A and B are shown apart, each in its own frame.
Chain A
Amino acid sequence: MKFITIDKKDWAKGIEKSRETYRLFGPVKEKNGFLIKSLDNDTLPDMEYTDSVMSAKSVMFPQSEKMLNASLDESQEGHHIMNRVDSDYSPQAVLGIRPFDAKAVQLVKLNFDTKDYRDPYWCDAYEATTFIGLGINKPGFYDFSTTAGSGPFEEDGLDVLLADMDDKYLAKILTDKGQAYVDACGFKTGADEKESQILLDVLKKEAENNIASQINTDQLKDKAILDLHDAPFWDDVAFSCINCGTCTYVCPTCWCFDIQDETKRKSTTRFRNWDTCMSSLFTLHTTGHNPRDSKTQRVKQRFMHKLKYFVDKYDQGTMCVGCGRCVKSCPVNIDIREVCNTMNAYEKQE
């Protein structure tokens, strides 16, 4: 594995240089906190950010995305025949993505890139993207990533891992895509591999030691779906929920979407929009029948999907990376850590 160091004085210049080949995304401060956004010319990623309100999932999976369009003008050739909307899939890089968010992208990939179908919108954007991660020296209060299959310096899903060393970044180049990006920036000050890895390990250990909260997931796989589904604690878990859906929008692994057509005059566009399993409309049949009619059923669906159905289906751990956003953003303090531990410890009463 190759290491380089990047002097922070050279950072801005290198990033600007990479714009010749890459479109850039990164943390930007907005009035309600940090978001991962497209970086307009002259905007640099704010690498001093602590945590972002939203994850980087929107880089591959925009909140609202044009999929297809068609003309409804019957005097035109090809009317009512849908075509894929032109989108820009030229190379792009997400700067400063957190390791748990990069891991989340790998989990979302399991949904959009399957053996039967490939979602071309998500996959094309993913393939165009280089992930330049920034290790977390001081994990936030809500971070429980180390017990959720990730961690402050985990490398899964990253092309480059940066470690903030005060006046410089230590960069571990993990893939060819990562190498291509640092080349495009002109960063090439090599660093000793052994020594760099030791430095990184020290930072990693220190950061991991700062993470106080944990989840237990070891028993989830062995539970029967129906036992957990019929467990008595769900009404208590859901009691305070107002079904606002915030947890699903801030979650880096929530991938559910809706498809809607929008028509202006004689032209129509088919969009996909983020959807939320917290909404009763999500599952409402035209007949009025709703298989997840009650709030408890919907709250249960969210946790069961993340912590049981996903675990059983893919055998790759939970569909939670421990970023803590849903815990922090929930207006009624529902805490996935408590729910997970309750599920993990649950024994069916005979």
Chain B
Amino acid sequence: MENPYMPYPVRIDDIEIATEDKSLKTFKFVFLNKEDEEKFSYEAGQFAELSIPGVGEIPIGIASSPIEKGFVKFTVFRAGVVTSHLHNMKVGDIMGIRGPLGNWYPWDKLENKNVVIIGGGFAFTTLRSSIIYMLDPANRSRFKNIDVVYGARSPGMLLYPEELFEWEARDDINMHITVDGTDDPDWKYHTGFVPQIVEQNAPKADKDTYAIICGPPIMIKFTMPALVQLGYKENQIIMSLENKMKCGIGMCGRCNIGKELVCKDGPVFTLEELNLTPKEY
């Protein structure tokens, strides 16, 4: 039987600075043992524990997509002990990854549906994974319209800008990129907060439309009324939560919201499910 606490050994294959303030970096990992990559088979929306021996572990959403083979990617904000240590590591360093963990966005349920993806700031990693997955030629026909509202403080704080602008040019996905503000006179996308852009640009809800929303609490708080106004019901709003975690497998006891464990029963919940739990997140 597998030991769920045992990380798969990985090598840091590439490190990219992800935002202009350098607070986020994207790490590309390659598994030291080829068979581990197969064991780490994941769905868009899942997370993993990045495990640095001697330092500790940190739960991070998987930014690469299941259709991208040969590596896994995580975009990490420098915040605490483990992430700060990780930001100082080098290409070639050896560490571990434990997972994949948690549930994922409900791809079966989203089949033949319109999907609206709403993200803010650096909570765009599993959303990036999801968009890459949905746009894959093998999957695109499984979904109807795809809309994306993504905002950051400034153009330089948008994650994955090259991909964003490439998606913008496509006709099988409707991008609504926004920044809180910019002094760039050539900025040709939206300016304004995410809730406002959602209100003005997101499609109205019908029974075949679902919204996936991921972002800082303040963004979520103000986007909810916009979605309600557009007619989205509680079971059509899908969210991904974060809580402090250690084990990631539902045993250590700290990430619960009521009887649900964010690590194992989540992190993805519908608003309908969340409304039945204490707001302990």
Chain A residues near B (Cβ < 8 Å) = 67-68, 70, 72, 79-82, 84, 111-112, 114, 116-120, 225-226, 229, 255-261, 263, 268, 270, 272, 275, 277, 282-287, 289, 291-292, 297, 301, 304-305, 308-310, 312-313
Residues of A within 8 A of B5 (CB): 67-68, 119-120, 259, 270
One of A118, A268, A275 near B253 (C-beta < 8 A): A275
Residues of A within 8 A of B79 (CB): 286-287
The residue in chain A whose Cβ has the minimal distance to the Cβ of B1 is A118
Rounded to whole Å, the gap between the CB of A227 and the closest CB of chain B is: 11
Check if A283 sits within 8 Å of B9, measured CB to CB.
Answer: no
One of A112, A261, A272, A308 near B53 (C-beta < 8 A): A261
Residues of B within 8 A of A272 (CB): 252
Our count of residue pairs bridging A and B at CB distance below 8 angstroms stands at: 129
The residue in chain A whose Cβ has the minimal distance to the Cβ of B95 is A80
Check if B6 sits within 8 Å of A82, measured CB to CB.
Answer: yes
Q: How far is the CA of A73 from the CA of B21 in the complex (A)?
A: 33
Say if the beta carbon of B137 comes within 8 Å of chain A.
no
Q: How far is the CA of A241 from the CA of B50 in the complex (A)?
A: 36
Residues of A within 8 A of B276 (CB): 225-226
Residues of B within 8 A of A304 (CB): 258
| Given A256-B252, A275-B253, A283-B244, A82:B51 Cβ within 8 A | yes
Residues of A within 8 A of B93 (CB): 80
Residues facing A in B234-277 (CB within 8 A) are 242-244, 246-247, 249-259, 264, 276-277
Check if A72 sits within 8 Å of B254, measured CB to CB.
Answer: no
Residues of A within 8 A of B3 (CB): 84, 120
Rounded to whole Å, the gap between the CB of A48 and the closest CB of chain B is: 35
Q: Is the interface of B mostly helix, strand, loop or mixed?
A: loop
One of B56, B94, B255 near A81 (C-beta < 8 A): B94
Q: How far is the CA of A263 from the CA of B53 in the complex (A)?
A: 9
Q: How far is the CA of A304 from the CA of B242 in the complex (A)?
A: 21
Q: How many interface residues does B have (CB within 8 Å)?
A: 45
Q: How far is the CA of A72 from the CA of B54 in the complex (A)?
A: 8
Check if A277 sits within 8 Å of B254, measured CB to CB.
Answer: yes
One of B51, B247, B250, B254 near A283 (C-beta < 8 A): B254
Rounded to whole Å, the gap between the CB of B59 and the closest CB of chain A is: 11
Q: How far is the CA of A257 from the CA of B249 in the complex (A)?
A: 12
Say if the beta carbon of B70 comes within 8 Å of chain A.
no
Check if A268 sits within 8 Å of B53, measured CB to CB.
Answer: yes
Q: How far is the CA of A261 from the CA of B254 in the complex (A)?
A: 18
Q: How far is the CA of A257 from the CA of B252 in the complex (A)?
A: 5
Residues of A within 8 A of B185 (CB): none
Check if A229 sits within 8 Å of B252, measured CB to CB.
Answer: no
Residues of A within 8 A of B254 (CB): 256, 275, 277, 282-283
Most buried by B among A67, A255, A259: A259
Rounded to whole Å, the gap between the CB of B110 and the closest CB of chain A is: 23
The residue in chain B whose Cβ has the minimal distance to the Cβ of A268 is B54
| Given A82-B7, A285-B244, A291-B243, A116:B249 Cβ within 8 A | yes
Check if A305 sits within 8 Å of B278, measured CB to CB.
Answer: no
Most buried by B among A67, A72, A309: A309
Residues of A within 8 A of B96 (CB): 80-82
| Cβ contacts B80-101/A at 8 Å (1 or 0 each) | 1001000000000111100000
